[in-house]
Structure 1
Amino acid sequence: MKRIAIFFYVTFCFTTTILAQKSNLITKIPFQLEGNHLFIKVKVNDSDNLHFVFDTGAGVTSINSTTAKRLELIGSKTTTSKGASGKIELKVVKNNELVIRDLRLKKIDLYSAPLLHLEKVLGTDIDGIIGYDIFKKYVVKINYDTSEIELYASRGYKYVGKGGLVKIDLGKVPTAKAKIDIGNGNYLDGEFILDNGAGLAMGFCTPYAQRHQLKKSIGKTYSVKSRGYSSNTTIAEVGRLKELKLQKFQFSNIPVRIYNTKSGVLAHEGIAGIIGNEILKRFNIIFDYKRKESYWEPNNMYNNVPYDVSYSGLKLSLDETKTKVLIDNIISDSPSALSKMKIGDEIIEINGVKAKDSSLTTLRKLLRQENTKVTIKCMRNDTLIEVAIQLTAII
């Protein structure tokens, strides 16, 4: 009889713990994954739904200056903020209400900045960027399997899943300690920003990379241009890291970037770098800022999605009007560098898929089919150029 009583007591406690977690659920917010970025619908004051990036790396809530103008939101003062590779001037629009499904966030300051450079790179409209103003209030689960962001009340929350614990530290963005393999069984420790607003797998800050001569550890590299929150352009060397250890999780042969910049977050002396959404999206992650904890549950992408590297050598972006797809960069010694294509050419179609009817995400996927041949048509002035290239991983 005593054993039966103990059994029912344990079962009752376990059941009530699960129910407590479920009862703490406040809302679920659908998101759309475009490339490596999460987009959600947000209303500002009495506006229609707007297209916002949901970003763990966003310490403030930003609004595109063109959207702010359209909504007649007037900044009361000017301030500056650090982007990845430099400072950006922002106008502060105070005391707004944000509505996300049935969630209302009151007295939110919006930081107005031009975001056209990001729209051109991502290939979609960006009305704003939100992160910390949500994470500071709630326990947040980003569930890539269901394409939903789950918000839980922080008070009384207790994680009951099977994910791996990753301790985090905080300013307004989460950081975690990790180890990197630099060869011959030698590992370096570092603290990395967990930034799902960064589309890369991993990037190293300039001081950390120079201090430890990381370029020697990642072998063959190619150079790319990169832009973040500020419109400043920085150059990064892309190579492959032998291994990354993050608590109990290990990642092998991952593409990494070594940045060369003298300002912004990527020039920070105390941070090793960034772990971006090429890694984060492989987990359903619970962020609990109050307790400085995160829990990582491997999802359907964990072992099923290859890491993003360049196979063509082409970097695509939209033009200033966001109506044309242009070649923004061509990587040296890549398949495209050996063709007739040039920077500034307009992409007309790839393998018969017309650029004007497709997203940048779709066109980029067509250029990531390793060991296949693609036919690209592009326009230079009034001349149509057609080339065929063999897609091969550059690193």
Structure 2
Amino acid sequence: MWRLLWVAIAFFSLVATVNAQRKTEPDDGKPIATIPFQLIDKQLIIPVLVSGSTDTLHFIFDTGAEVTILHAPTAERLKLRKSGEVFMTGTNNSMVKTGSTTINALYIRELRMPYVKVYLENLSNLGDVDGIIGIALLKPYIVKIDYRRQQLVLYKPGKTPIGNTGRLLHFQLNYTTPVIDASIQLTDGRRLPGHYHITTGGDYGILFNWPYVDKNKLNTILPTINTDPVQDLVKILYYINSSVPELELGGRSIKQVPVSYCKDIDDLGVFTEIAGSIGYDVWKHFTLTINYNKQELYLE
């Protein structure tokens, strides 16, 4: 299950910067790329090509991923040599050393993304995937995630396209990950507000951070449905699964939302307390349009 909320620390920078190649024709408001995706085990999978290979690779698109990850066996198959080392932290904050390399060009349909720095990690626990891509694709464009049609629609940066009928939410950035305000309702009727990461790659409804759980005594309030062992970068973590009667965000309410928590989960916030991450089981109810540069999220 996709619950490895890691941060990569490079020797010279916190996050790899990827400059996507853009077309130069005037902006007519039309999409510049439409990328089909598959939903496999609640993962949004997009097709990717890399320079020097004709094989189609399969990457998870995750708005909560601050760096681009390449499955280490895939890198070996593509004969990509490790060019550096970085330290990565898992959800339990244990540091591990891993390799990095640079892909000369990464292609996603019409898009060409040159000199993409990737971090090498074994992703076998995520199924048949070759990598994870998130902020690198999110930053340079306005990205529409249409779950009904199963496609990503990319627009040039600037104003959100005319005709968008979604409810506008403004978000903040925690490092480079978008964060929105939302509230949950408990069985006793209380509402708890919080700041949540937008994590389209999360195979859950809400994954709480332990400090938020402990502060609000959620572990004593929420009924346990089952437990779930998950292999982290370093050790097996044990998640407790439950549900909350309601999640409210942007004036929209979703009933009976599945939630999880674990004592090892503490995804630190740079500006404020982070309550947790909101994943697929919530976002599947909407079409999302994310304007990263304007820090706008539209929910339809």
Instruction: Identify which of structures 1 and 2 has the higher relative contact order when contacts are C-alpha pairs closer than 8 Å and 6+ apart.
Output: 2
Q: Which residue in the other structure is 1:79 paired with?
A: 86
Q: Does 1:226 align with 2:237?
A: no
Number of matched pairs: 271
CA distance in 1, matches of 2:179, 2:35: 24
Q: Which residue in the other structure is 2:130 paired with?
A: 127
Among candidates 43, 57, 60, match of residue 53 of structure 1: 60
Q: Which residue in the other structure is 1:254 paired with?
A: 257
CA distance in 1, matches of 2:194, 2:159: 32
Q: Which residue in the other structure is 1:187 paired with?
A: 191
CA distance in 2, matches of 1:271, 1:216: 20
CA contact under 8 A between 1:223 and 1:235: conserved in structure 2? yes
Superposed, which structure 2 residues align to 1:15-54 within 5 Å?
23-47=29-53, 48-54=55-61
Which AA in structure 2 matches 1:30?
A: P
Which AA in structure 2 matches 1:143?
A: D
Q: Does 1:110 align with 2:118?
A: yes
Among candidates 188, 196, 204, match of residue 200 of structure 2: 196
C-alpha distance 78-252 of structure 1, shift in aligned 2 (>3 A): same
Which AA in structure 1 matches 2:114?
A: K
C-alpha distance 168-199 of structure 1, shift in aligned 2 (>3 A): same
Q: Does 1:163 align with 2:169?
A: no
Q: Which residue in the other structure is 1:99 paired with?
A: 107
CA distance in 2, matches of 1:80, 1:264: 18
**Could you list the runs of 5+ residues in structure 1 that have no partner in the other structure?**
1-19, 120-124, 298-395
CA distance in 1, matches of 2:122, 2:76: 11
| Rg (Cα) greater in structure | 1
Q: Which residue in the other structure is 1:141 paired with?
A: 144
Q: Which residue in the other structure is 2:215 paired with?
A: 211
CA contact under 8 A between 1:85 and 1:267: conserved in structure 2? no
Q: Secondary structure at the match of 1:146?
A: coil
C-alpha distance 32-191 of structure 1, shift in aligned 2 (>3 A): same
CA distance in 2, matches of 1:21, 1:282: 30
C-alpha distance 92-264 of structure 1, shift in aligned 2 (>3 A): farther
CA distance in 2, matches of 1:88, 1:43: 28
**Could you list the runs of 5+ residues in structure 2 that have no partner in the other structure?**
1-25
Which AA in structure 2 matches 1:64?
A: H
Shift of 1:56: 1.1
C-alpha distance 183-64 of structure 1, shift in aligned 2 (>3 A): same
Which AA in structure 2 matches 1:161?
A: N
Q: Which residue in the other structure is 1:392 paired with?
A: none
Deviations 1:91-115 (A, max 9, x none): 1213531011111011210111111
Q: Does 1:240 align with 2:240?
A: no
Deviations 1:130-150 (A, max 9, x none): 111110100000111111100
TM-score by length of 1: 0.64
C-alpha distance 24-272 of structure 1, shift in aligned 2 (>3 A): same
CA distance in 1, matches of 2:150, 2:194: 31
